[in-house]
């Protein structure tokens, strides 16, 4: 789906993406302005990790549902939290760093 506020950008999923790839979400509202997924993914790959950072646009009213959905996913290693969820997300976390 394309947001009416942003131009479509080609996405490249390199040959390293597989069923073993570990997922890290970055969650916020809005999320389109976030530039860190590419850089953090690159840093993880450079460190030898098969991992990908995926932006997730989640409204405050949907935060509990997001964490309920992510919790059983066995290939999710973490969630990076940005505005406006920085404090409210703590209630759903098993650890903070």
pTM: 0.81
Span 71-94, pLDDT tens digits: 999 999 999 999 999 999 999 988
Span 43-74, pLDDT tens digits: 998 898 999 999 999 999 999 999 999 999 99
In whole angstroms, give the CA distance from residue 1 to residue 91. Answer: 30
Domains present along the chain, CATH in parentheses: 22-90 (3.40.50.10860)
In whole angstroms, give the CA distance from residue 30 to residue 51. Answer: 23
């Amino acid at each position: 789906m394309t947001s009416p506020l942003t131009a479509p950008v080609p996405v490249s999923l390199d040959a390293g993406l597989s069923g073993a790839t570990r997922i890290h979400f970055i969650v916020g509202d809005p999320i389109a302005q976030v530039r860190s997924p590419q850089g953090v993914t690159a840093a993880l790959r450079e460190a030898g990790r098969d991992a990908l950072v995926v932006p997730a646009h989640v409204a405050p009213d949907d935060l509990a549902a997001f964490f309920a959905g992510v919790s059983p996913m066995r290939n999710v290693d973490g969630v990076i939290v940005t505005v406006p969820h920085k404090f409210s997300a703590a209630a759903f976390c098993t650890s903070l760093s």
